[in-house]
């Protein structure tokens, strides 16, 4: 039996860690003492630190209680109404992007940095979060084909870049296909993933 894992580390680029940052990113093993100089460490570690939206809900609920915001009496408190209450407090209740997130996001499963970044920038209590830099890898306990890789993201208000090693394979395959020679019995790519390299080797063998 093989097990698959995902782990990642990164930083929040900000002025300082505040209660809002602690509430939203505390579940990411947040460490404001490292690496310092306007950056705070965050991580997602397999079987140890797996940030989930219910964890974020707990952090936001505790933060709202500290602010003295009245909580609904029902026990079924969820993230959308809590975000709406906090939006009023921070004067972000008419922000279209936040409203769209609250309406459309499921807030289930693993907490995604894209949504957390948007929320944090609307609830700015002095943290002045400007960007998130995050790199991760997935791997298998057995050396199975294409079950290893990596990804990275850079999130800011002006720039949003997300990429993975799988995209490199797909891009290379798409770029190389037009370079393949006409179909023949002797000249054909020997691998779907390295067509240009394999074709050159075949062509050399053929000309010899």
**Which residues in 115-159 belong to E strands, given as ranges?**
131-140, 149-156
pLDDT, tens digit (0-9, with 9 covering 90-100), for 113-170: 999 999 999 999 999 999 999 999 999 999 998 889 999 999 999 999 999 988 888 8
User: Which run of H or of E encompasses 142?
Assistant: none
Give every CB contact of residue 61 below 8 A, 6+ residues apart in sequence.
Answer: 71, 77, 82
Q: Could you give the CA distance from residue 60 to residue 107 in angstroms, rounded to a whole number?
A: 13
**∠ CA 131-136-140, rounded to 5°:** 165
pLDDT, tens digit (0-9, with 9 covering 90-100), for 26-64: 999 999 999 989 999 999 999 899 999 999 999 999 999
pLDDT, tens digit (0-9, with 9 covering 90-100), for 62-114: 999 999 998 877 667 899 999 999 999 999 999 999 999 999 999 999 999 99
Taking a C-beta distance cutoff of 8 angstroms, is the pair 14, 130 a contact?
yes
Give every CB contact of residue 111 below 8 A, 6+ residues apart in sequence.
Answer: 27, 51, 52, 53, 55, 56
Rg (CA), the chain: 23
Determine if the pTM surpasses 0.85. Answer: no
């Amino acid at each position: 039996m093989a097990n698959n894992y995902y782990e990642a580390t990164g930083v929040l680029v900000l002025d300082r860690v505040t209660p809002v940052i602690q509430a939203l990113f505390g579940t990411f093993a947040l460490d404001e003492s490292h690496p310092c100089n306007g950056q705070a460490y965050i991580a997602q570690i397999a079987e140890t630190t797996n940030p989930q939206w219910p964890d974020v809900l707990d952090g936001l609920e505790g933060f709202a209680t500290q602010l003295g915001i009245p909580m609904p009496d029902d026990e079924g408190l969820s993230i959308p109404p809590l975000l709406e209450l906090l939006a009023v407090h921070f004067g972000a209740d008419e922000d279209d992007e936040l409203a769209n997130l609250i309406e459309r996001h499921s807030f289930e499963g693993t907490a995604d940095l894209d949504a957390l970044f948007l929320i944090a920038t609307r609830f700015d209590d002095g943290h002045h979060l400007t960007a998130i830099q995050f790199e991760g890898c997935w791997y298998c306990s057995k050396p199975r084909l294409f079950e290893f890789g990596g990804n990275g993201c850079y999130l800011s208000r002006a720039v949003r870049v997300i990429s993975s090693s799988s995209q490199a394979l797909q891009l290379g395959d798409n770029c190389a296909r037009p370079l393949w020679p006409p179909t023949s019995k002797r000249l054909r790519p020997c691998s779907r993933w390295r067509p240009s390299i394999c074709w050159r080797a075949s062509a050399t063998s053929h000309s010899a």
